[in-house]
């Protein structure tokens, strides 16, 4: 697919505005964001618990060494795909929230279901590339993440196939990758902070209730909320970066982007 790009390379991305809008959208639409992230996350936690153990599902590192290499890879793949699906759902919320339109959760689920296979392939391919880059050094991993930061929004908004979506993301992010790296670093600082706080609370829950089924259930619910919140930061920022790049390079406004949902 070809995309006309009448753009000025000197026009800034506006990272500060994107970060501010991310917070604004996330907290003004907190319930919708949490719903979209909570239930897939909870299902994944129960899947991990049934396949391995509750300790593993709740991030108890003591139990991680007992999982074989093949199963570990499978669970990582499933987690990467889960993040892709949550991102696809939240991208749509971000645009409706930006326009002040009502949330239509059923429509978001239907559209995500329609592009589920491209999201699967994109999530796996980007996860592998970014993972390899991170193994080499952290910076190459961040750079590759910036290159493909808007691949999932491209799938959702343009119904691109996996390789086309990655190429599209590479094209859109060109000349703007360092500002995107800055956004990513801030988002991951927030994600790590929320995750550490969540882990501390889960530890307190287990200490207070004990290590039985009730503690596992409460911890799983709380962890699902943490994952939903952290996914919200990443997904909404990716949606806004995509919208801003389309505006800069193609003159396409958010209202035109969101028209695909109608």
Each residue's pLDDT tens digit, 39-75? 999 999 998 888 888 877 876 554 555 667 778 788 8
Q: What is the structure's pLDDT at 261? A: 60
Q: What is the structure's pLDDT at 150? A: 95
Q: Is 10 exposed, middle or buried (0-12, 13-18, 19+ CB in 10 A)?
A: exposed
Q: What is the structure's pLDDT at 122? A: 93
Measured CA to CA, the distance from residue 131 to residue 251 in angstroms comes to: 33
* Residue 174 clears pLDDT 90, i.e. is over it: yes
Which is more confidently placed, 219 or 23? Answer: 23
Give the Cα-Cα-Cα angle 145, 149, 152 (nearest 5 degrees): 125
Tokens matching residue 183: 């956004």
* Residue 173 clears pLDDT 90, i.e. is over it: yes
Q: What is the structure's pLDDT at 96? A: 87
Measured CA to CA, the distance from residue 196 to residue 190 in angstroms comes to: 10
Asked whether 171 and 6 are in contact (CB, 8 A), the reply is no
């Amino acid at each position: 697919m070809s995309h006309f790009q009448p753009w000025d390379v000197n026009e800034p991305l506006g990272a500060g505005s994107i970060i501010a809008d991310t917070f604004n959208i996330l907290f003004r639409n907190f319930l919708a964001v949490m719903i979209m992230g909570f239930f897939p996350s909870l299902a994944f936690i129960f899947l991990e618990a049934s396949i391995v153990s509750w300790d593993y599902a709740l991030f108890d590192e003591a139990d991680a060494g007992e999982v074989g290499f093949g199963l570990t890879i499978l669970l990582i793949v499933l987690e990467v795909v889960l993040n892709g699906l949550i991102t696809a759902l939240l991208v749509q919320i971000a645009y409706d929230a930006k326009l002040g339109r009502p949330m239509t959760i059923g429509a978001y689920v239907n559209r995500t279901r329609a592009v589920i296979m491209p999201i699967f392939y994109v999530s796996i391919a980007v996860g592998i590339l970014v993972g390899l880059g991170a193994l080499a050094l952290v910076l190459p991993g961040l750079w590759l993440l910036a290159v493909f930061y808007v691949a999932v929004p491209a799938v959702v908004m343009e119904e691109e196939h996996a390789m086309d979506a990655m190429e599209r993301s590479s094209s859109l992010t060109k000349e703007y990758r360092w500002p995107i790296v800055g956004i990513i670093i801030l988002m991951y600082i927030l994600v790590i902070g929320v995750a550490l706080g969540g882990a501390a609370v889960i530890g307190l829950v287990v200490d207070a209730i004990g290590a039985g089924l009730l503690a596992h259930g409460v911890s799983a619910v709380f962890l699902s909320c943490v994952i939903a919140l952290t996914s919200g930061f990443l997904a909404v920022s990716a949606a806004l970066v995509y919208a801003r790049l389309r505006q800069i390079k193609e003159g396409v406004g958010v209202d035109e982007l969101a028209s695909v949902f109608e």
